Structure 1
């Protein structure tokens, strides 16, 4: 069986780094990571780049340590095909920017670059991602004392790299996993909707339907951070995208007709909160590795210590070994790696007409679902009894909402085993 081809659009971020490590630690026959595209979100996009480069730097040190210890290197996917890394959106399309540094720290990893400078590379090669310096596209990192060959930088914007990957691969063969704000995806789909629709499916960590939000009472962070971008991507699931397209001055409307509808699979807080790792689980895995001198264990332990302290502060009573980090982003990557497993279950009502609120004073980023019990109608125009075409069989979004998995009780251990063993 051929490996699953994936793009990961991300804003690293603590659980984003765990998600990337999970993907990179796969076997080459399981998954091929074609692109890591970066967006603002948890932190500024330049800090996201610094964290990704640091991750690859630490992995190189980890591989050397494992060889010296006589341990298998692992991370076969990374060794088989280093991914392209591209820098994307710095700001949301229309909204005021909000970051999640209150949770992740100003650098996205709990201040690790200041507290553990020996774990941070001196060079982030930012010039290799700058089109003003060199417009030639993607290229290998130059060799040198601090350089490595674990990634290929691109100086094209991330949304252009997304489109390039989709053009260069057969239709319906690439899964796009989006675990940050959807700005890069909105830019790509606006620039070339038909190429964007070559994607097999888009897997989104975002939204909250029956759970309260985690950044406002109504909204999950990724949906809130760029609600207009999320609404535009969701609109591509509709038989009539213009029926749910939000107002947007920065991007054009989609064409009146498109060749197909987007397959969009969302992992809202309703399912991601069921997948976590406790401080006790993490401590039991990491302690012997720290004693043995694992660079990866030292690096991850440093930012996870910040994470668990923050969780204890935000959730009184959840302290010590029972403090739990929800693995929002890793569970989406795990789905992309194991999508054929029978344990993944969407809601019985999927696909659902889920829309993202973009203009509400208190409800920006809210997942709006029509909970009325009324008969659908064959309407193409709004009526006085159906403002917004919620009942129309020819309009509205068609979103697959994931509801459960077979790894809800074991995913924390699965994640740690994959990353560290």
Structure 2
């Protein structure tokens, strides 16, 4: 049975890859998309989501405007060197594309979607946690009806990617992450130490490009210029890396691949005090019977890379071209 997913994303490269994957993954049914600030500003995130609507024909899926800024009160920091100024890396949107309207406010639709799929819905959050935390504040009894929540964020016993100890999604709004980690039930965390291994190599990107060109796939043509740009950034930081990691795709893939993932349930805390540890996620992995009294959540520790990457390539080539509506 397909997993019904409400996706929260901030529509940089890995988010865009995740939603393209999700639209053509037969095990997933996307029932709503929340576009918020993060890798890009909210207006650009909504524009990017609309462009993907145009290229997939999925106008049936509600698009919800999420948060515009974090709960820290600080202006958001964007990362054009990672995702490109428009969030599409080296891919340039065609001149004939015009986003419809400006930023809109329809956040209440999150409530409607959760109520509609009472007990069947999975939330997957692969961006900042601001909109998800806001849902916990506004609709606590309704959010409690969600079956499972999957979050890409944090890092455990592994360096951060924004500071020496903090990962970007958590660091961007630790206050929001603290709300989610304190109040979420059935929460699964896919941390950086796992997602960093979900690499789509340059050779794989070229293979996907060749197969999609043979099918004259307009949507498939987005992938290579995005992933090449993403890889160039990663190479500038990690010269030996063979490609770029699909942080958000592996999190979404994890929703229906329990047998291919090793988890541990451990107490987790988010550092919200200002200082060098701001935004750090602390997991108590000690071999003690008595551990820290933090909320306990399920944390992904390892995954079957071969099973993951084979499925991703199949979806981005065969499934995409078999089901693309344009």
Q: TM-score, normalised by structure 1?
A: 0.71
SS at match of 2:259: coil
Instruction: Find the structure with the greater CA-based Rg.
Output: 1
Query: What SS is found at the alignment partner of 2:295?
Result: coil
Counterpart of 2:112 in structure 1 is 164
- Cα offset, 1:281, TM superposition: 1.1
More strand by share: 2
Structure 2: gaps of 5 or more residues: 319-326
State the match for 1:50 in structure 2: 47
Q: Spell out, residue by residue over 1:143-171, the C-alpha distance to the aligned partner (whole angstroms, 9 max, x if none).
A: xxxxxxxxxxxx512xx22222112222x
What is the CA-CA distance between 1:234 and the residue it aligns to?
0.4
Matched, 1:312 2:309: no
CA distance in 1, matches of 2:130, 2:41: 13
Quick one: distance in 2 between partners of 1:420 and 1:82?
A: 23
- SS of alignment partner, residue 126 of structure 1: coil
Q: 1:275 to 1:190 in 2, by over 3 A?
A: same
1:215 aligns with 2:138: no
Tell me which of 290, 312, 318 is aligned to 1:415: 312
Unaligned runs of 5+ in 1: 61-77, 131-154, 238-261, 377-389
CA contact (8 A) 2:51 2:97 kept: no
- After TM superposition, the structure 1 = structure 2 runs for residues 3-42 of structure 1, keeping only pairs within 5 Å, are 3-27=2-26, 30-42=27-39
Q: How many residues align?
A: 317
For residues 103-149 of structure 1, the C-alpha deviation after alignment (integer angstroms, 9 at most, x for no partner) is 00111112533xxx43x65221125x63xxxxxxxxxxxxxxxxxxx
Kindly indicate whether residue 161 of structure 2 is the aligned counterpart of residue 186 of structure 1. Answer: no
- Tell me what 2:324 maps to: none
Give the secondary structure class of the aligned counterpart of 2:296: coil
**Which residue pairs with 1:247 in the alignment?**
none
Match of 1:85 in 2: 63
Separation of aligned partners in 1, 2:70 and 2:263? 29
Offset of 1:356 from its aligned partner? 0.6
Q: Distance in 2 between matches of 1:289 and 1:6?
A: 26
* Alpha carbons 1:214, 1:220 under 8 Å: kept: yes
Structure 2 counterpart SS, 1:41: coil
CA drift at 1:405: 2.2
Query: 1:279 maps to what in 2?
Result: 202
**CA–CA separation in structure 1 for the residues paired with 2:254 and 2:116:** 24
Q: Choose which of 255, 260, 266 in structure 2 pairs with 1:343.
A: 260
Q: TM-score, normalised by structure 2?
A: 0.90
Match of 1:324 in 2: 243
